[in-house]
Amino acid sequence: MAEKLILASGSPFRKAMLVNAGLDLEAVPAEIDERAVEAPLADSGVSPEDVAAILAEAKAVEVSKRRPGALVLGCDQTLSLGDKIFHKPANMEGARRHLLSLSGKTHQLNSAAVLVRDGQVLWTHIGIANLTMRALDPAFIGRHLARVGYKALSSVGAYQIEGEGIQLFEKIEGDYFTIVGLPLMPLLTKLRDMGVIDG
């Protein structure tokens, strides 16, 4: 009998990815203030990859304290351009600024997954993808955002690669699942190794 996995997230994208892969899971959103967890890391020299892992771990540990004995998966994703970390834009003007900043450059998506049981970290993995955005005309950015609307605010980069956002790119290096927010292949391998899913 496969063990039920607890997903420490309210993300419908991550839940759908796991359900589509055949996992039995329950979503229990973590009750943490992500910006408060991240604030002390800002000037500490912690890499954007490690920030994603620290946030994913904080989510999983918080939920695991409420669900004794359960295997909990925490996830987080950061978008970095050099040392600068981007967060989800607060409004359409923020989305426009994100796209202007990323235009013509290669940015990195860092997707962390952490498995925790009873507050103990069992496994951590960070998947990395490099995405090169083509040089975007500011007027095109305005038209693009008008077409996609508020969906642009639901992702850290102000784009959905699985939708019209794919038109913004000239080159993508990395795993599709990592890009949409969860390093799924390494996670499935670990769950098989742990006997959580049939292998």
* pLDDT greater at residue 62 or residue 87: 62
How far does the chain reach from its first CA to its final CA, in angstroms?
12
Cβ–Cβ < 8 Å for 108, 40: no
Q: Annotated catalytic residue: which of 33, 43, 50, 76?
A: 76
Among all chains, which residue has been given the structure tokens 């850290």?
156
> If we measure between CA atoms, which residue out of 80, 47, 67, 58 comes closest to residue 124?
58
pLDDT in tens, 22-44: 999 999 999 999 888 888 887 78
Cβ–Cβ < 8 Å for 164, 144: yes
Cα separation, 136 vs 100, in Å, equals: 7
- Given a cut of 50, whether residue 151 has pLDDT beyond it is yes
Percent of the chain clearing pLDDT 90 (strictly above):
81
Residue 33 annotated as catalytic:
no
- Given a cut of 50, whether residue 1 has pLDDT beyond it is no
Lowest mean pLDDT among 39-43, 56-60, 87-91, 151-155: 39-43
For the chain, which residues make up each domain, given as ranges? 5-193
| CATH number for the segment(s) 5-193 | 3.90.950.10
In the structure encoding, which two tokens stand for residue 65, read together?
A: 């304290």
